[in-house]
Structure 1
């Protein structure tokens, strides 16, 4: 298996890794070294590091990465390749095709390259078409993303299948194990990498608006700063927001559950998601949410039942949803959070993801292709 960052395996794929090892498979994780390699090894997988710059666009660096993948396949001779994120999905799958190894890909979101237009989107599209051409199964986390790929001819529909995101473990994310604040201060929490595409600027502008009439409300941000992404928020900008008193920056946490438990509402004004892991985690922790009405967010949040939806790239409409959440009484927000937990555990349980992977791995080993009807 390969993914651009070790922390992604530890935080989002741990259940799958444990299940595959329990099934008797040896799992080799080919990842970029971001300091979380020990966490993968603790799961029982063997780690191989790759020179992966997830945001880089140098063709020479990408050719070097492809060479590393090809050498890795020659040395390890795997039976199946599992890929996530853009470069492992492209270059890892190309190497798998050269080696005659069935590839199973997971398109967990379209990313910055697909949110814009221009030469980069066209180049990424061509590379995806080459990389996925011989894949046994290409998983998508929402139907809209699958339609984009099929519509652009990047993948054949018969290769594709849908997954309920990365899944959520309701035992691990159980609000009964975590205390909530009792100081009466209302907290909006944004959990995300600090990049423009997560709607960070809209969150800031909405916070600026809300604080005029609700100065005691706290706006918190938890997530990676200095992200290797072309739309990353720089440190000076973040520090300016903190100095202005608009937000509390909570830094980075290996375990987000205590922060979710203490939030009154979790906010994600993202421009597009695969299936938002943050929204799944917030719902499992029985937190009401505000999210944008875009693929990957509206698939999780049921408007006015488990949370509120607002327009993307619209700080004014986000502020409107925040005001509506603030105007709700405690009982209504609690009921919304309870409904959210019940809903995501029914639709997005982690065991469904693991079952799907077990099935397509078996199909790949038998030389079969997953049906698009799944």
Structure 2
């Protein structure tokens, strides 16, 4: 007689699922031992999309949303979910309340090393709730911080995936900035800088002044403070910096440059660094948790101390004077994305984790 096994029924709750969550859901749904369900706003009845069952759900806008809790509880009883996975804190807190007394195991996600306070009761609605069975950490830095709150066997590091075809679209249609077309070395930075000095834009602009080499151009994509633009335009290298502004075609602008620079003072696990590596761009990033965890120093890029314009200018100069080595770094960066951040590897990690939790 053929023995049948009950599939692992997983509910993923979210406020707004990013592409990594969607790829994860679809990847797990292709495995024979998983049934995957995902909350979705704006639909009126359950529907299937690429193997994933989408369940209608109101917007998850707060940690205690009674209509969401009632609906998630109804779904949990109807579909008998073994696990929930919540990539956001609001989804987590509502899922914890919705599954109370039902035996469902809840998995949390933590993408930032920002301080968790035991004295703040709101944390017990989410990540510090004793019903959290496991926490997925975006980086080793986040995991290290959370070891002060959880035993090691309750923590797993799973840095978000990146799919090379996402970059291939930009590589097929790169966008050049005409004013910088003839530069020997074109740098790019993509960030929302306005009112956010920790992104390090001023440090990068100061590094351009320190370098003072008209062979180097800088393409800035995203918003910015007017004071920063006015300042750099008053310097001798003002014409070497192009402010593109906000655009959905950021990766296409990056694809027409030679080196990606991210001079943040603090960051979690910046997706833009993975984008740059997938475009075969060598990177210069600040030596801070999150950013430095994504690159292999000396192999896929260089590290520079945060808020050190002189050190950053020296790293840029190295890229200028070592063209063959920087191109090799770019190739190795793309290989690292394919090897270490692939959808298959990411899905496999979660599949192993969820199987272990469902059987324990």
Identify whether the pair has TM-score above 0.5, normalized to the shorter chain.
yes
Is residue 222–residue 250 contact of structure 1 (8 Å, CA) maintained in 2? yes
CA distance in 1, matches of 2:197, 2:53: 31
Residue 337 of structure 1 and its aligned partner are, at CA, apart by 0.4
Structure with the higher fraction of residues in helix conformation: 1
Q: Secondary structure, in 3 states, of the residue corresponding to 1:136?
A: strand
Is residue 35–residue 52 contact of structure 2 (8 Å, CA) maintained in 1? no
Residue 270 of structure 1 corresponds to: 264
Deviations 1:197-252 (A, max 9, x none): 6843x2233214414613564433335x6xxxxxxx77x66876798765513413
Residue 196 of structure 1 and its aligned partner are, at CA, apart by 6.4
Q: How does the TM-score come out when normalised to structure 2?
A: 0.75
Residue 132 of structure 2 corresponds to: 135
Give the gaps of 5 or more residues in structure 2. 1-11, 43-47
Give the gaps of 5 or more residues in structure 1. 34-39, 53-60, 226-232, 369-374
CA distance in 2, matches of 1:88, 1:68: 13
Deviations 1:78-118 (A, max 9, x none): 512111133334444444445542222222233xx43xx9x
Residue 148 of structure 1 and its aligned partner are, at CA, apart by 0.7
Matches within 5 A, 1:105-144: 105-110=108-113, 113-114=114-115, 128-131=126-129, 133-144=130-141
Is residue 187–residue 264 contact of structure 1 (8 Å, CA) maintained in 2? yes
135-144 or 121-130, larger mean C-alpha shift: 121-130
Is residue 305–residue 311 contact of structure 2 (8 Å, CA) maintained in 1? yes
Q: How does the TM-score come out when normalised to structure 1?
A: 0.72
Quick check: which has more Rg, 1 or 2?
2
Q: Does 1:337 align with 2:316?
A: no
Residue 25 of structure 1 corresponds to: 35
Is residue 24–residue 347 contact of structure 2 (8 Å, CA) maintained in 1? yes
CA distance in 2, matches of 1:335, 1:175: 22
More contact order relative to length (CA 8 Å, sep ≥ 6): 1
Deviations 1:288-324 (A, max 9, x none): 0011112222222122221111122444433332333
Residue 315 of structure 2 corresponds to: 321
CA distance in 2, matches of 1:17, 1:273: 26
Deviations 1:177-214 (A, max 9, x none): 535559333332223344766843x2233214414613
Q: Does 1:159 align with 2:164?
A: no
Residue 3 of structure 2 corresponds to: none
Residue 172 of structure 2 corresponds to: 178
Is residue 170–residue 255 contact of structure 2 (8 Å, CA) maintained in 1? no
Residue 372 of structure 1 corresponds to: none
Residue 192 of structure 1 corresponds to: 191
Residues 44, 127 of structure 1: alpha-carbon distance in 2 compared, 3 angstrom cutoff: closer
Q: Secondary structure, in 3 states, of the residue corresponding to 1:166?
A: coil
Is residue 137–residue 159 contact of structure 1 (8 Å, CA) maintained in 2? yes
Is residue 103–residue 135 contact of structure 1 (8 Å, CA) maintained in 2? yes
